Structure 1
Amino acid sequence: MQLSEDQIIKLAPDAASVKAGKGLASAAKWVLRGASDRALWGHCQGSGKNPYQTQVDLQNIAFKCSCPSHKFPCKHSLGLLFLYASQPDLFTTGEEPDWVKEWLEKRAGKAEEKKEKADKPVDVEAQAKRQEARHKKVLNGVDDLQGWLKDLVRSGLLNVPERAQALFAGISKRMVDAQAPGLAGMMRQLQEIHYFGEDWKYELTAGASRAYLVAESYKHLDQLSPEWQDEIRTLVGYPQAKEEVLANGEQVSDDWLVVASESLQQDRLTVEYNWLYGRQTCRYALFLQFLTPGALTETALLPGSVVAADVAFYKGVTPTRVLFREQKGTREPFIPSGKGCCAGLAEAMQVYRESMTRNPFTYEVPVLVSEVRLVMHEKQVWIKDSNEYLIPLTLGEAGKLKGFAVTGGREFTGFFLAGERSWRVLSLWIEDKYYTLSNEYNG
Structure 2
Amino acid sequence: MEERWSTEHVLSLAPDPASLKAAGKLSGPGPWSGAGWEQGVLWGLCKGSGSTPYRAAVELAGPAYKCSCPSRKFPCKHVLGLLLLWSGGAAEITEGAERPDWVAEWVKSRQDASEQRAEKARVKAEAKAEADPAAARRRAERREARVTAGAQELRLRLADGVRRGLADHAAAAAGWEEVAARMVDAQAPGLATRARELAHTPQQGLLAEYALLHLLAGAWGRVEELPAELAATVRTRVGFTADTAELLAGPTVRDRWQVLGSRDTADERLTTRRLWLRGAKTGRLALLLAFGRPGQAPELALPTGQVLEAELAFHPGARPLRAVLGPRYGAPEAGPAGPPAGLSPAGAAAAYGEAVAADPWLESWPVVLGEVVPVLGPEGWQLTDGRGAVAVRRGSVPEAALWRLAAVSAGHPVTLFGEYGHAGFAPVTAWTQQGRPIRVGQ
TM-score by length of 1: 0.89
Contact residue 230 and residue 317 of structure 2 kept, 8 A: yes
Distance (whole Å) between structure 2 residues aligned to residue 266 and residue 139 of structure 1:
31
Q: What amino acid maps onto 1:142 in structure 2? A: A
1:382 aligns with 2:382: yes
Name the stretch that deviates more: 367-376 or 64-73. Answer: 64-73
Contact residue 115 and residue 325 of structure 1 kept, 8 A: no
Distance (whole Å) between structure 1 residues aligned to residue 416 and residue 246 of structure 2:
34
Shift of 1:234: 0.7
Question: Closer, same or farther in 2 for the Cα pair 1:225/1:140, shift >3 Å?
Answer: same
The aligned counterpart of 1:173 is 181
Q: What amino acid maps onto 1:349 in structure 2? A: A
Question: Match for 1:149 among 158, 162, 167?
Answer: 158
Contact residue 344 and residue 385 of structure 2 kept, 8 A: yes
Aligned pair count?
Answer: 428
The aligned counterpart of 2:103 is 100
Contact residue 381 and residue 393 of structure 1 kept, 8 A: yes
Q: What amino acid maps onto 2:13 in structure 1? A: L
Cα shift readout 1:292-340 (whole Å, capped 9, x = no counterpart): 43455232344444433322111111111111223431111346767xx
Question: Match for 1:429 among 410, 428, 431?
Answer: 431
Question: Closer, same or farther in 2 for the Cα pair 1:109/1:308, shift >3 Å?
Answer: farther
Shift of 1:91: 2.1
Shift of 1:152: 0.8
Contact residue 335 and residue 429 of structure 1 kept, 8 A: no
Question: Closer, same or farther in 2 for the Cα pair 1:76/1:291, shift >3 Å?
Answer: closer
Distance (whole Å) between structure 2 residues aligned to residue 77 and residue 410 of structure 1:
38
Contact residue 369 and residue 415 of structure 1 kept, 8 A: yes
Shift of 1:229: 2.0
Any idea what SS the aligned residue of 1:309 has? Answer: strand
Contact residue 9 and residue 18 of structure 1 kept, 8 A: yes
Any idea what SS the aligned residue of 2:39 has? Answer: coil
> Gaps spanning 5+ residues in structure 1: where?
none
Any idea what SS the aligned residue of 2:371 has? Answer: strand
Distance (whole Å) between structure 2 residues aligned to residue 329 and residue 317 of structure 1:
32
Any idea what SS the aligned residue of 1:28 has? Answer: coil
Question: Closer, same or farther in 2 for the Cα pair 1:112/1:252, shift >3 Å?
Answer: farther
Any idea what SS the aligned residue of 2:183 has? Answer: helix
Distance (whole Å) between structure 1 residues aligned to residue 421 and residue 108 of structure 2:
45
Distance (whole Å) between structure 1 residues aligned to residue 293 and residue 31 of structure 2:
34
Distance (whole Å) between structure 2 residues aligned to residue 252 and residue 106 of structure 1:
30
Shift of 1:112: 4.3
Question: Closer, same or farther in 2 for the Cα pair 1:27/1:426, shift >3 Å?
Answer: closer
Question: Closer, same or farther in 2 for the Cα pair 1:274/1:312, shift >3 Å?
Answer: same
The aligned counterpart of 1:391 is 390
Name the stretch that deviates more: 166-175 or 300-309. Answer: 300-309
The aligned counterpart of 1:364 is 364
Distance (whole Å) between structure 1 residues aligned to residue 243 and residue 316 of structure 2:
11
Distance (whole Å) between structure 1 residues aligned to residue 422 and residue 280 of structure 2:
27
Question: Closer, same or farther in 2 for the Cα pair 1:130/1:334, shift >3 Å?
Answer: farther
Question: Closer, same or farther in 2 for the Cα pair 1:376/1:16, shift >3 Å?
Answer: closer
Question: Closer, same or farther in 2 for the Cα pair 1:102/1:96, shift >3 Å?
Answer: farther
The aligned counterpart of 1:215 is 217
Contact residue 182 and residue 235 of structure 1 kept, 8 A: yes
The aligned counterpart of 2:6 is 4
Cα shift readout 1:82-102 (whole Å, capped 9, x = no counterpart): 222223332222254243233
Distance (whole Å) between structure 2 residues aligned to residue 376 and residue 49 of structure 1:
55
Shift of 1:115: 4.6
The aligned counterpart of 1:138 is 147
Question: Closer, same or farther in 2 for the Cα pair 1:31/1:377, shift >3 Å?
Answer: closer
Distance (whole Å) between structure 1 residues aligned to residue 292 and residue 198 of structure 2:
24
Cα shift readout 1:155-186 (whole Å, capped 9, x = no counterpart): 111222x3243132121121111111101111
Name the stretch that deviates more: 225-234 or 104-113. Answer: 104-113
Distance (whole Å) between structure 2 residues aligned to residue 318 and residue 283 of structure 1:
11
Distance (whole Å) between structure 2 residues aligned to residue 336 and residue 312 of structure 1:
28
1:191 aligns with 2:217: no
Any idea what SS the aligned residue of 1:47 has? Answer: coil
The aligned counterpart of 1:19 is 21
The aligned counterpart of 2:317 is 316
Shift of 1:45: 2.9
Name the stretch that deviates more: 372-381 or 120-129. Answer: 120-129
Any idea what SS the aligned residue of 2:241 has? Answer: coil
The aligned counterpart of 2:258 is 257
Name the stretch that deviates more: 105-114 or 365-374. Answer: 105-114
Question: Closer, same or farther in 2 for the Cα pair 1:34/1:108, shift >3 Å?
Answer: same
Any idea what SS the aligned residue of 2:275 has? Answer: strand
Q: Percent identity?
A: 34
1:283 aligns with 2:290: no
Shift of 1:231: 1.1
Distance (whole Å) between structure 2 residues aligned to residue 22 and residue 409 of structure 1:
32
Question: Closer, same or farther in 2 for the Cα pair 1:335/1:413, shift >3 Å?
Answer: farther
Q: What amino acid maps onto 1:298 in structure 2? A: E
Name the stretch that deviates more: 92-101 or 174-183. Answer: 92-101
Any idea what SS the aligned residue of 1:281 has? Answer: coil
Any idea what SS the aligned residue of 2:310 has? Answer: strand
Contact residue 26 and residue 82 of structure 2 kept, 8 A: yes
Any idea what SS the aligned residue of 1:346 has? Answer: helix
User: Considering only aligned residues, what root-mean-square deviation do their CA atoms show, in Å?
Assistant: 2.4
Contact residue 117 and residue 243 of structure 1 kept, 8 A: no
Question: Closer, same or farther in 2 for the Cα pair 1:359/1:132, shift >3 Å?
Answer: same
Any idea what SS the aligned residue of 1:135 has? Answer: helix
Question: Closer, same or farther in 2 for the Cα pair 1:438/1:286, shift >3 Å?
Answer: farther
> Gaps spanning 5+ residues in structure 2: where?
none
1:270 aligns with 2:278: no
Shift of 1:349: 2.3
Question: Closer, same or farther in 2 for the Cα pair 1:37/1:279, shift >3 Å?
Answer: farther
Question: Closer, same or farther in 2 for the Cα pair 1:351/1:401, shift >3 Å?
Answer: same
Contact residue 268 and residue 294 of structure 2 kept, 8 A: no
Contact residue 342 and residue 415 of structure 2 kept, 8 A: no
